[in-house]
Amino acid sequence: MAGRTTKQGRSNPNTGNPGKRGPVGQDEEEQPLQAVLIADSFNRRFFPISKDQPRALLPLANVAMIDYTLEFLAAAGVQETFVFLCWMSSKIKEHLQKSKWCQPTSSNTVHIITSELYRSLGDVLRDVDAKTLVRSDFLLVCGDVVSNIDITPALQEHRNRRKREKNISVMTMIFKESSPGHRSRCQEDDIIVAVDSKTNRVLHYQKTLGLKKLQFPMNIFHNGSNEIEIRYDLLDCHISICSPQVAELFTDNFDYQTRNDFVRGLLVNEEILGNQIHLHVTGEQYGARVSNLLMYDAVSSDVVRRWVYPLTPEMNFTDEEGQTCTHSRRNVYRGADVSLGHGSQMVENVLIGRGTIIGSNCQISNSVIGNNCTIGDNVILDRTYIWNNVSIANDSNIMQCVLCDHVEVKQGVTLNQHCVLAFNVVVGPNLTLPEGTVVSMHHPDEEEEEDDEDEFLSDDAGVNNDPLKTKTKGYSSAELGSEGKGYIWRTANVSEAEEDELSQGLWGLTVNLDPESESESEVSEDSQEQDSRAASPELDDVNVFQVEVMGTLQRGMEESIGCDNLVLEINSLKYAYNITLKEVMQILTKVVLEFPIQQQGQELTSSQYSPLLIPLLKRWTPVFKNYVKRAQDHMDCLAAIEEFFLERVALWAAMVKVLMAFYQQEILAEEAILRWFSQGVTSDKSKLLRKNQGVQKFIQWLEEAEDESSEEDGK
Amino acid sequence: MELQAVVMAAGGGSRMMDLTYSMPKPLLPVGNKPLIWYPLNLLEKIGFEEVIVITTKEVHKQMNIDTKMKLEMVYIQEDADMGTADALRHIQQKIKTDILVVSCDLITDVALHEVVDLFRAHDATLSMLMSKTHEFTETVPGQKGKKKTGEQRDFVGVDSSGKRLLFMANEADLDEELVIKKSIMRKHPRMHIKTGLVDAHLYCLKKSVVDFLADNKSITSIRGELIPYLVRKQFSASTNSQKTKDDSEKNQKKTDLKTPDIHISSKDEDLLDLAREKSCWNDHRGDMSDAYHGGKLRCYVHIMEDSMCYRVNTLAAYIEANRLAPKVFSEELPIHPTAEISEQSMVGADSIIGAACHVSEKSSIKRSTIGASSCIKEKVKITNSIIMNGVTIEEGCNIQGSVICNQAVISRGADIKYCLVGSGQCIEAEAERNNEVIVGIDQLMEI
């Protein structure tokens, strides 16, 4: 129980003490700590549940999420909280006004600010700036954060930094250590952070969702620090300590929508704006944001398992009457007036709200059941979250599902993993719902229409206008059972939704993120990379050079660049890749000979090949002449020609034409060709090549020509 | 014999040409001992009895080292332009066990067992030694202004324990970004990227690595190619996949002319695996995988915090090493018994005088090293300098912060500050030289 020790130093907010705070410099006027709480997620992750109830009010272990956040703020010593409401503001307002936070005894004064116009966190902070609500450093949290983190040290660090260097550090983000693969890690929030380990300054911040390779700009390594740590074990708690400048910066940069935009923007423009962001990492304490149902599952079970101590179910920190419950072994909590039938077992980690009746021979594990529910006989529940006034008939089997208020499950229903039954849905009897089924009383089409209106729709803005626009379509009794009421959401939505939304299902993506498969796919990529690296760099250079020469010649063709310029370019390439003259010649010969093949494809026959090549040769004769000068050059060039033809037996017939062309263009001298013919035999194959009829004839012809010329000389 | 020691002493010292022109790098005197004495001494001290020294014939001819160890000399051609990995391949037949490779230019007082222990404890494929970069404070002859340091830094990524080597890249190989695979981060979620480190060129390597080198001829340098390859290979799936591939497949791979894969296996592997399976020990925390995530290839690094560690591969490092080495390795008398020191001269306790030296009256020597058979005449002042063997310094000279190579003659009254005087050079009388490199015409490096 990591959280247990941490609370001791903190005062109980209910006694009116504003909590322990770090000593603030005497010369500085002590300002009460303020917080900005955004009770809207500005996304639709909890659709269709959040159609009927805003996310902040969804019960988590039978307590509304916003109550956890407010409790955290009070424990952190916040004295003034601005709660910003948008979607379903009246409901949240009503909730808050009833709660203890609005009582005069509350240590934390809650101001409620409502506007239908907020579309993002950015809008809210711009409004904070416009209204100049904050006077000094403030905490920025969302209405769905569950945490027991003691922010005193972080706040102290933040203030010290601010004092040391005025207005440089604008934000301290709070992270929790959590290894990859931990269940409380939200896959969508997966981040990688590069941090200066001495100063805790954030140098790079990136969401890694869907990335295989992580890239860090070089400039983060140039700022003088040589102790940089890259951390992938951090969970973003979505709690940040901000200076008033943060609000101003949001005003200045009207395109910042989310905190992510802000952080990225600030880091990229750091040199211009001169602002820095720091982080604080907590190891033992708890902090998480309920950003999707998977996180809802994880955080709920953490609360029941007491990781968030002292925010445990039996504490009843909301001071609500009738919410008390008892805590017994294996983390079993029972509210008042719970009746448990004969033979029913509460295996472990179970929370049952007040007035709930459970039949006989049930097996309940790792589940939360709300108030006034009725559960029949022989029901099996595992990792299931049942809200208030739900009734489940006999012989049901429910695994890892969420059942909202007033849901009715008839007899003999099996719900597979990740099913969601939204408010007032009825299913059954005798039915099995496949994995991931989402059922709501709202028709999915309703939703589709509204989707088009505004991309940045705040939670559910549009629905507000006509919440009772129920379409008179019949419920599908085949899918939901003969007495079923509701519409299946998932299937229709997935096919039509954009890819982005597809990846952001209600349950998040952890469902099948199999690390094995990923590493498998990396194999091929990996081995390629290594192979190319393993080869000696020399060879690489030669290859690159060849490709470059090819490109140069191609460009030369297309743009009809003069041979002089081509020579210049090849020479500069030669120096760039450190290629010897001999190699230049060999590669040049090879590239030119391959040129028709590159252009026309491999299937070239010898009769097609030579007409294509010879004009090229004529065109580039000056280039060759530039490189083929000494006797050895001639031999090297011939060797390259031979090598080329040895690889392509099909083109042997064309060899004589090629040799002839080289001879006629006076690139190769006849003595060289004769010498090559008589001496250069290296293998059986090259012997065979020389036996080629055309070549034989050509050589014969050359020899005769030579005889003639020598005879002439003799005369 | 657990480890075979290999000393690499065939390098030409291309970064300090003025010094190594006349004398091979392994023999450069540091505190009146040849450079190669230091790595040999390091090995001897921790109990090695045999050492393989890879060197050239020329070096061996001139080498005269007093050591109890059995030195097995292996020659390579001076002009063969062999890399360090080539040299290892060259002696593959002699390698029977895992090896410890040391470069001849390493001067360190590291507790060597730290490196070896890492190698043993983790059954590592590679363990190496690194130290913090040094700022050289002394003025370096012939060097105008401050040299830019850290132009091409190495990026070294280690895990949270600071021992496991996860990542290595040179700044020169990187463009705009440093790229790390996410799968590495998943296995080792905290990675420290260190920049201010130098590689000491001391490596423990598994025998299988040498065998791998023999198969893979394209690798020429240990530091430049082999080490980065091994570090990368730690996380490539092909090495880590269990050895389920049957032999025929392996053979096929080889015939495919692919780069031969490295096969790390030790003879006790089954036993070690069993021990690891039965033990609750793990090298990492945070996930439930087996120790080392089932990987067989592991690289470790020991990073020295504050011991002394120099690689004498530049003139600046050479001067610095001369200044510091005698303080650390002062087992012998600073003044050789055969040296003749006039009673009226002043020799500081921080100076070293070699055998058969002659120091005349009214001379003062401070913070300097004087090589064997050198002759210092009257009224000479030497501070912060390195005088090699057989040097003659005539009356009234003033030498400060300089390096005087073998057989040089400094004529009377010369004033030499921060200079490098090449071997056999003669400085005329009353000359005033400041911050110069004085070598013969023929020694000037061809450019």
Residues of chain A in contact with residue B195, where contact means CB-CB under 8 angstroms, are 221, 226, 228
DSSP string, A30-71: PPPPEEEEE---SS-TTTTGGGTS-GGGSEETTEEHHHHHHH
User: What number is the average pLDDT over the span A378-405?
Assistant: 93
| Whether B189 and A231 lie within 8 Å, measured CB to CB | yes
Place of tokens 């498998």: A520
Quick check: B285 contacting A, CB < 8 Å?
yes
User: What number is the average pLDDT over the span A206-228?
Assistant: 81
In the predicted structure, residue A447 carries a pLDDT above the cut 90: no
| Beta carbons within 8 Å of A243's beta carbon, 6+ residues apart | A136, A137, A162, A167, A169, A170, A171
In the predicted structure, residue A538 carries a pLDDT above the cut 50: no
CA closest to A536 among chain B residues: B218
The least confident of A16-20, B18-22, B30-34, B42-46 is A16-20
CA closest to A193 among chain B residues: B190
Nearest C-alpha neighbor of A651 from the set A689, A702, A691, A599: A689
Q: How many residues does chain B have?
A: 447
Distance from CA of B226 to the nearest CA of A (A): 9
Select the residue of B182, B216, B233 nearest A214 (Cβ to Cβ). Answer: B182
| Whether B178 and A221 lie within 8 Å, measured CB to CB | yes
Best mean pLDDT range from A397-401, A672-676, B258-262: A397-401
Residues of chain A in contact with residue B181, where contact means CB-CB under 8 angstroms, are 212-214, 522
User: What number is the average pLDDT over the span B19-24?
Assistant: 78
Select the residue of A182, A192, A520 nearest B185 (Cβ to Cβ). Answer: A192
* CB contact at 8 A, B393 and B412: no
For residue A357, list its beta bridge partners.
A339, A374
User: What number is the average pLDDT over the span A411-439?
Assistant: 89
| Whether A230 and B285 lie within 8 Å, measured CB to CB | no
Select the residue of B177, B186, B194 nearest A180 (Cβ to Cβ). Answer: B186
Cα A144 to the chain's mean position, in Å? 21
User: What number is the average pLDDT over the span A254-275?
Assistant: 85
- For the segment B330-369, what is each residue's pLDDT rounded down to a tens digit? 667 778 888 888 888 888 888 888 888 888 888 899 888 8
- For the segment A38-63, what is each residue's pLDDT rounded down to a tens digit? 988 888 778 788 888 898 999 999 99
3-state helix, strand, coil in chain A (%, to 5): 45, 20, 35
Q: Which residues of A touch B (CB under 8 A)?
A: 179-182, 192, 194, 197, 208, 211-218, 221, 226-233, 515, 518-520, 522-523, 526-527, 529-531, 533-536, 539
Band the pLDDT of A7: cuts 50, 70, 90.
very low
Select the residue of A230, A534, A535 nearest B191 (Cβ to Cβ). Answer: A230
Band the pLDDT of B441: cuts 50, 70, 90.
low
Select the residue of A197, A216, A527 nearest B178 (Cβ to Cβ). Answer: A216
Q: For chain A, how long is the longest CA-to-CA vector?
A: 132
DSSP state of A626: H
Band the pLDDT of A533: cuts 50, 70, 90.
very low
Nearest C-alpha neighbor of A339 from the set A375, A315, A389: A375
User: What number is the average pLDDT over the span B270-291?
Assistant: 79
In the predicted structure, residue A662 carries a pLDDT above the cut 80: yes
ipTM computed for the complex:
0.82
CA closest to B226 among chain A residues: A534
Please give the residue that has the higher pLDDT: either A389 or B330.
A389
Select the residue of B174, B182, B285 nearest A212 (Cβ to Cβ). Answer: B182
Quick check: B290 contacting A, CB < 8 Å?
no
Quick check: B221 contacting A, CB < 8 Å?
no
The least confident of A227-241, A349-363, A495-509, B132-146 is A495-509
In the predicted structure, residue A612 carries a pLDDT above the cut 90: no
Band the pLDDT of A189: cuts 50, 70, 90.
confident
User: What number is the average pLDDT over the span B118-147?
Assistant: 79
Band the pLDDT of B265: cuts 50, 70, 90.
low
Residues of chain B in contact with residue A215, where contact means CB-CB under 8 angstroms, are 177-179
pLDDT at B164: 92
Instruction: Return the SS3 of B219.
Output: coil
| Whether A218 and B233 lie within 8 Å, measured CB to CB | no
The least confident of A163-177, A615-629, B234-248 is B234-248
Residues of chain A in contact with residue B286, where contact means CB-CB under 8 angstroms, are 179-182, 233
Distance from CA of B392 to the nearest CA of A (A): 45
Best mean pLDDT range from A456-460, A594-598, B92-96: B92-96
| Whether B182 and A221 lie within 8 Å, measured CB to CB | no
pLDDT at A454: 39
CA closest to A233 among chain B residues: B189
CA closest to A229 among chain B residues: B192
pLDDT at A149: 92
pLDDT at A512: 37
- The answer, yes or no, to whether the previous bond of A596 is cis (omega within 30 of 0) is no
- For the segment B63-88, what is each residue's pLDDT rounded down to a tens digit? 877 788 898 988 888 777 788 898 89
Nearest C-alpha neighbor of A294 from the set A182, A392, A391: A182
| Whether A534 and B216 lie within 8 Å, measured CB to CB | yes
Best mean pLDDT range from A531-545, A677-691, B295-309: B295-309
User: What number is the average pLDDT over the span A407-428?
Assistant: 90
Residues of chain A in contact with residue B233, where contact means CB-CB under 8 angstroms, are 530
Select the residue of B229, B238, B285 nearest A527 (Cβ to Cβ). Answer: B238
Place of tokens 């062999």: B82
Quick check: B168 contacting A, CB < 8 Å?
no
Quick check: B220 contacting A, CB < 8 Å?
yes
Quick check: B413 contacting A, CB < 8 Å?
no
The least confident of A205-209, B5-9, B248-252 is B248-252
| Whether A213 and B233 lie within 8 Å, measured CB to CB | no
pLDDT at B443: 54
pLDDT at B101: 94
Phi-psi region of A473 (alpha: psi -120 to 50; beta: other; left: phi over 0): beta
Nearest C-alpha neighbor of B130 from the set B305, B251, B292, B360: B305
pLDDT at A148: 92
Select the residue of B155, B185, B220 nearest A214 (Cβ to Cβ). Answer: B185
When the pLDDT of each residue in chain A is averaged and rounded to a whole number, the result is 79
Q: How many residue pairs bridge chain A and chain B with CB atoms within 8 Å of each other?
A: 125
Residues of chain A in contact with residue B176, where contact means CB-CB under 8 angstroms, are 217-218
pLDDT at A360: 93
**CA–CA separation, A307 vs A183, rounded Å?**
13
The first and second tokens of residue A372, run together, are 């006034």
pLDDT at A93: 92
* CB contact at 8 A, A438 and A456: no
| Whether B155 and A221 lie within 8 Å, measured CB to CB | yes
In the predicted structure, residue B50 carries a pLDDT above the cut 80: yes
Residues of chain A in contact with residue B183, where contact means CB-CB under 8 angstroms, are 212, 515, 518-519, 522
In the predicted structure, residue A209 carries a pLDDT above the cut 50: yes
Band the pLDDT of A505: cuts 50, 70, 90.
low
pLDDT at A547: 84
User: What number is the average pLDDT over the span A81-103?
Assistant: 89
**CA–CA separation, A300 vs A297, rounded Å?**
5
**pTM here?**
0.72
Quick check: B157 contacting A, CB < 8 Å?
yes
Band the pLDDT of A175: cuts 50, 70, 90.
very high
